[in-house]
A and B are shown apart, each in its own frame.
Chain A
């Protein structure tokens, strides 16, 4: 059982950080002058850790993720991924799974998954094989020929995850990937994500609004403040793995959830 042997943070033997953020700040020109979106973000995500970021709407969670993905340039500070700075998108180091289905409707599921490889001019047979393998991993074996509109919401997000993983990046960033799904599908997808994570041993940075989802998935939950976004608290989630739905009913789960909720509720 690979996931049982996983080292949780603070266990002494700390793995090499996969993501290292120092003094990160982001400001943009708004209508009433410069708006500080993020300030003084320091962040270390050990390799293989599942980190979840929560915070009130508009706290800059998505901004932070965009910068980790190299899609937005920080105003100050540094971001290192796998020991090297991130200046522009590098799908071989960082895969991204977006909010709503950002799948291309004119491509089939397998073509969507191949897309990043196509951009890198990978030979056709190789990319098809990789994509099929990824679809199998996310539990969509045999659905490759379908167009996105022929898939359910949960299946679409499975395809998105497969696309994020197809270049085997060590880090996977996920921006509220399950926000548009109904509650049951969302729970199932969370569970599935943990399975995929444990099979691939990726470092995951996951953004969500749902505190239950956060506690259920995470090794560590980072709580961000309202604008300008700062990291207020790091909550280690020392629930055993593999996680089960039953854990949600435990006192421990409730206390962790409550601790996070307190801080978000008390925000100005």
Chain B
């Protein structure tokens, strides 16, 4: 017997999960407090759609600003750390040590400093997303093939030309990996901080409804967060495909091992 293809199995598993989500509470296998049926959850989401939309807007606003900060500062610092050997030797080990600290413990400090409004979420998520962007930018610049630089110099490239025509295009794939991780972590950071101390946003809806034991509304908020991270993932993948027409399968294979460890290293604060 031929085994069904992995994507088919994945779709079947997804479908099974959805059916289970509906059937398990309906059949009384789990109390509805633990797992409200899917239909009930969706109905609540539809009923309260304006509340969820408003909360999503707050979350999206915080995510957008935090991403700008994380990516902007991350690329800038990463370029300096990766490009200047003395700073790299000095700082890279320090950054990887600091990376071990669970950043979430800084959040109480941010709320004390910035209050419980959007500012503290933006600051926290910005720090959260900064590290992967910075580390992969540094790695992307550091691992540029020496031959590329040598060839450009032999053709008489000036330093600005070297940066614009060789260093930037050569480091784009690695930087994009960092942006994907950094972006995902920024979303996570905003949601986590909204859950911890907040008065608005999707994370706040999770916590608030949990406190009043309104499970369908908790799960409706979870669905919104899941949709948000799926949408982000799809968007970044599309962007990657668009910018990487030139990237060969062979190159991707060659970089996959470093890619994995970079991914492991940089995603190390997924909450």
Contact = CB atoms under 8 A, between A and B. Distances in A.
Contacts of A197: none
Contacts of B150: 71, 98, 102
B106 to A, nearest CB: 38
Given A89-B155, A91-B154, A102-B151, A118 B248 contact: no
Contacts of B250: 149
A89 B154 contact: yes
Interface string B133-155: 00000000000010110111111
A221 B231 CA distance: 63
Question: At the interface, is chain B mostly helix, strand, loop or mixed?
Answer: helix
A71 B165 CA distance: 19
Size category of the A interface is 20 to 34
A70 B147 CA distance: 15
A16 to B, nearest CB: 24
Interface in B162-181: 165-166, 169-170, 172
A104 B155 CA distance: 13
A11 B165 CA distance: 46
Contacts of B246: 105-108, 147-149
Question: At the interface, is chain A mostly helix, strand, loop or mixed?
Answer: loop
B175 to A, nearest CB: 13
A149 B151 contact: no
Contact of B248 (A96, A99, A115, A147): A147
B156 A104 contact: no
Contacts of B153: 71, 89
A43 B47 CA distance: 87
A119 interface: yes
A120 interface: yes
Contact of A119 (B161, B169, B172, B249): B161
Contact of B156 (A108, A120, A150, A163): A120
Contacts of B161: 119
Nearest to B243: A106
Nearest to A96: B154
Contacts of A96: 151, 154-155
8 closest A-B pairs by beta carbon, nearest first, are A149-B248, A102-B147, A116-B155, A96-B154, A102-B151, A106-B169, A106-B246, A147-B246
15 contacts: A88-B156, A99-B147, A104-B169, A105-B246, A108-B246, A115-B155, A119-B152, A119-B161, A119-B165, A120-B156, A147-B245, A147-B246, A149-B247, A149-B249, A150-B248
